[in-house]
Amino acid sequence: MKSNYLKTLFGSAIATTCLISATGGAAQAGQFYNNWNYSIDSFTDGSGGEAYNIRGMATMETSDSIWVALTGGMPLEGDSNWRAADDNIGWGDLFFNFTGDGFQTASDNNALFGVRFAGTNDSGAATTGVYAGVGAAGVASSNAGYNSLRHYYNSGYNRTNTMGTDIATKAEAFNYFGKTTPVLNVIASGERVGDIAMQSQNALTAAGLDFGNFGASGNHTIGFSFDKSLIASGDYMASLFLECANDGVALAGHATEPVPEPATAAGLAFLGLTFLGGKLRRRRDA
């Protein structure tokens, strides 16, 4: 049976947003600024130092695309580290969960959407791009990382705002991701359904991105976009971990259906009128 996780979370987000508007406090659920939806993570929960610290994630929706931005200490190509099996530790893959279930359940049912944006990571996806029907896998053990969230928190990283604005406590993280199971941080399987377009810092700034508004700008900011027809519509939880599971971030959002191009809309209208006209002529001829 489906859980009510996202429904409950979005209800809490609305209430929290109202509180923040009244108090002017730190970023909380549903933080929108310049058309971007932000999840701001703790600045001190990256095990291994700033290179392994995620400061925030943000998404923006246009009529036909989803934009994603990440900021923190990890560069796109990862960090050279001899303790990793391939001498490199970097970003995991990004997941979108529209099911309302916890992450493990959605993964077991191959019901996730995944985005591989870092070409040097240990993803099971063959190339960068957007994938549907995704199941996830964990690669922390081959990246000198934590074998579970409990292992991570018990090592001294039991911070508030543990996964960013929208999964802000240890209990919420355990509820959504699991407590003692491996951290699932890369695509294991799925069907590639489309490309992503990497976005420069200038393009992100021109689109209104501003992590600095929350004091969250990291040493590296990474951005990309993709056609939103490649994923589902509705409420989602987006999340990702570093390959070592030294830090992660989650963001609750909502995706609408793509708006048809004017020519497409006009074509559909024409087909509708043609169909209606045919029916009326048949009635007159009867």
79 pairs with which residues across the strands?
Answer: 89
Distances (CA, A) of 121 to 51, 186, 213, 235, 239: 15, 9, 30, 28, 16
Q: Provide the mean pLDDT of the chain.
A: 85
Contact call for residues 52 and 79 (beta carbons, < 8 A): yes
Does residue 118 have a pLDDT over 50?
yes
And the tokens for 198?
């990497």
Does residue 30 have a pLDDT over 90?
no
pTM of the shown model: 0.83
Check residue 72 and give its pLDDT.
96
pLDDT category at 157 given cuts 50, 70, 90 is confident
256-268 pLDDT, tens digit each: 988 776 654 445 4
- Torsion 45-46-48-50 (CA) sign: negative
Check residue 286 and give its pLDDT.
52
Which residues touch 163 (CB under 8 Å, ≥6 apart)? 41, 172, 173, 239, 248, 249, 250
Question: How far, rounded to the nearest angstrom, does the alpha carbon of residue 205 sit from its chain's CA centroid?
Answer: 20
Check residue 258 and give its pLDDT.
84
The residue that leads in pLDDT, 227 or 280, is 227
Percent of the chain at pLDDT above 90?
Answer: 71
88-117 pLDDT, tens digit each: 999 999 999 999 999 999 999 999 999 999
Check residue 176 and give its pLDDT.
97
Q: Which amino acid is at 280?
A: L
Average pLDDT over residues 161-189: 94
Check residue 43 and give its pLDDT.
87
Does residue 28 have a pLDDT over 50?
no
Check residue 229 and give its pLDDT.
97
Check residue 262 and give its pLDDT.
67
113 pairs with which residues across the strands?
Answer: 96
Does residue 13 have a pLDDT over 80?
no
The residue that leads in pLDDT, 37 or 50, is 37
Check residue 12 and give its pLDDT.
45
Q: What share of the chain is helix, strand, coil (3-state, %, to 5)?
A: 30, 30, 40
